[in-house]
Amino acid sequence: MTINTGALGFGGGERAPYATNPWTSRGRLFPEDSSLTRSEFQRDRDRIVHTTAFRRLKHKTQVFISPDGDHYRTRLTHTIEVAQIARSLARALKLDEDLAEGVALVHDFGHTPFGHTGEDALDELLGPYGGFDHNAQSLRIVTKLERRYADFDGLNLTWESLEGLVKHNGPLLDKAGQGTRGPVPQPILDYCQLHDLELASYASLEAQVAAISDDIAYNTHDIDDGLRSGLLTFEMLEEVPFLAGLMAEVRARYPHLEESRFAHEIMRRQITHMVEDVISVSQRNLQNFDPQSAADIRAADHVVSTFSADMAETDRLIKKLLFSRIYRHPDIMRIRAGAAQILSDLFKAYMNDPSLMRSHYWVNHIAGLDDGAKARHVADYLAGMTDTYAVRAHGELFDQTPDLR
The enclosing domain of 187 has a CATH number of: 1.10.3210.10
Give a yes or no: residue 336 inside a domain: yes
Write the single-letter amino acid at 92. A
SS3 for 161?
helix
- ∠ CA 27-31-36, rounded to 5°: 80
Give 374's pLDDT tier (boundaries 50, 70, 90). very high
* Number of domains into which the chain is organized: 1
CB 363 within 8 A of CB 355: yes
Give a yes or no: residue 293 inside a domain: no
Q: Please name which of 131, 128, 121 lies closest in space to residue 371, comparing C-alpha atoms.
A: 128
CB 62 within 8 A of CB 72: yes
Give a yes or no: residue 301 inside a domain: no
* Mean pLDDT on 393-399: 96
pLDDT tens profile 62-102:
765 445 556 678 899 999 999 999 999 999 999 999 999 99
Residue with the larger pLDDT of the pair 65 and 401: 401
Q: What is the pLDDT of residue 362?
A: 66
Write the single-letter amino acid at 230. G
Give a yes or no: residue 385 inside a domain: yes
Give a yes or no: residue 20 inside a domain: no
Q: Please name which of 106, 100, 103, 166 lies closest in space to residue 136, comparing C-alpha atoms.
A: 166
Residue with the larger pLDDT of the pair 159 and 361: 159
Averaged pLDDT score across all residues of the chain: 92
Q: Is the pTM of this model over 0.75?
A: yes
Select the highest-mean-pLDDT range: 58-62, 75-79, 111-115, 212-216.
212-216
Residue 241 has a CB neighbour count (10 Å cut-off) of 12
* Mean pLDDT on 265-292: 97
User: How far apart are alpha carbons 231 and 224 in whole angstroms?
Assistant: 10
27: region left, alpha or beta (phi > 0 left; psi from -120 to 50 alpha): left
SS3 for 131?
coil
Largest CA distance in the chain: 68
Give a yes or no: residue 208 inside a domain: yes
| Of 3-7, 57-61, 137-141, 149-153, minimum mean pLDDT range | 3-7
Give a yes or no: residue 289 inside a domain: no
Q: Identify the domain containing residue 60 by its residue range.
A: 37-235+324-405
Give a yes or no: residue 184 inside a domain: yes
